[in-house]
Amino acid sequence: MVVLQVAFALFLLAVVGVIATELYHDASIAVANGIQQALTPGSSPTSVGNSVITDLSSLRSRTVMVATAVLILVTALFTYIIARIALRPTRQALESQKQFIGNIAHELRTPLAVSKTNMEVALMGGGIEEGMRRSIESTVEELDRIAEIINNLLSLSASVRPERIEFKDVDLGAAVQSALDKLHDLAASKQIDVTAKMSERRDVWGNRTALEEIAMNIVKNAISYTPAGGRISVLIQPVYPDHMEFSVQDSGIGIARKDLFRIFEPFYRSDPSRRRGVGGSGLGLTIVSELVKLHNGKITVRSAEGQGTAVTVLFPAGRTQLGLDALGKRARENVSEVAVDFSRSVPRHRSE
């Protein structure tokens, strides 16, 4: 790092020296030409002087512009290089941490499954007193919660290994419908009305399993934070020339502004009043953001306390559906919003 900083300083000095030398050389030529013209019979010293001054002024302006452009480019280049080198240990540590978590989660699956099976077998047997039965049932519920956390950790670990994920044209509507079918009982238990409206054109460039995981986490969050008797609307439609929009709007309790900008952090949970009676691992939206990034998409969360939450994800349209007409969007007042845009980053892996 120190070597780079010294090299940067020396390079700047070299650039300044070269520019100063060129300016001195050009100025000397301009003055010499002026003197030569002044010695020519019939020439006016005043006009020659004005010409030399004009030439020197032009040289100064050009030199300043060139020097400024070069310094900006060199500074930006060295800043990028230094930042990449400085952040490399952090990126490597984060990668190792995610891989370690994934490995541990994988190792915990087997003993957890065995423990849950033993508990369920014990429940099927007779002669268990009521207090003990309630205790075992509570243990099974906690084991299910641990299993969900482990599955989420494995999903998060897999999302940072894009070389394992295959991309192709996928029917986004089918992936979302599969998630809705799996969550039907959960929504029915809270008497929540879930409606889905899907365009005929809904192919995206992505991975079916990852898309279903995205839909599952977003819709499950909407169900979890929507009171009984509430409503959830799911919409899939083409927008812009080359994108497909998947949005989920709920009539839930909403998200406070202070929590909204941290919802993509791993294990972040909002204030107790919001999560009272709600389970979950705190990894759902983290997994969603990682998978959306993997798809080179954009996720936007708009919410206001007591007014519900709207989550919108933009995916690149399928290769056979490019060139779709844009559709307008209406803004809402008194609404907080956070957006994470990965659409300008280069996809880390795509297979044709």
Tokens of 200: 């005929």
Distance between CA 143 and CA 291 in Å, rounded?
26
Q: How confident is the model at residue 309 (pLDDT cuts 50, 70, 90)?
A: very high
Task: With CA atoms as reference, report the closest residue to 314 among 233, 250, 240, 262.
Answer: 240
What percent of the chain stands above pLDDT 90? 22
Q: What is the largest CA-CA distance in the chain?
A: 127
pLDDT of 291 reads: 86
CATH class, domain 166-341, is alpha beta
Q: C-alpha dihedral over 136, 137, 139, 140, to 10 degrees?
A: 120
Tokens of 80: 């990028």
26-40, 45-59, 63-77, 301-315: range with highest mean pLDDT: 301-315
Q: What is the mean pLDDT of residues 278-287?
A: 68
* Residue 86: CB atoms within 10 Å: 11
pLDDT of 164 reads: 62
Task: Look up tokens 């044209």; give the residue.
Answer: 169
- Span 59-106, pLDDT tens digits: 777 777 877 787 788 788 878 887 777 778 877 776 776 677 667 766
Cα 265 from chain centre? 11
pLDDT of 138 reads: 82
| Domain edges within the chain | 1-160, 166-341
- Span 239-273, pLDDT tens digits: 877 889 999 999 999 888 888 888 887 766 665 54
* Residue 307: CB atoms within 10 Å: 15
What percent of the chain stands above pLDDT 70? 72
Q: How confident is the model at residue 4 (pLDDT cuts 50, 70, 90)?
A: low
The pLDDT mean for the chain works out to 76
What does DSSP assign to residue 317?
B
What does DSSP assign to residue 324?
P
Q: What is the mean pLDDT of residues 234-242?
A: 87
- Span 101-147, pLDDT tens digits: 667 766 777 788 888 888 888 888 777 788 888 888 888 877 877 77
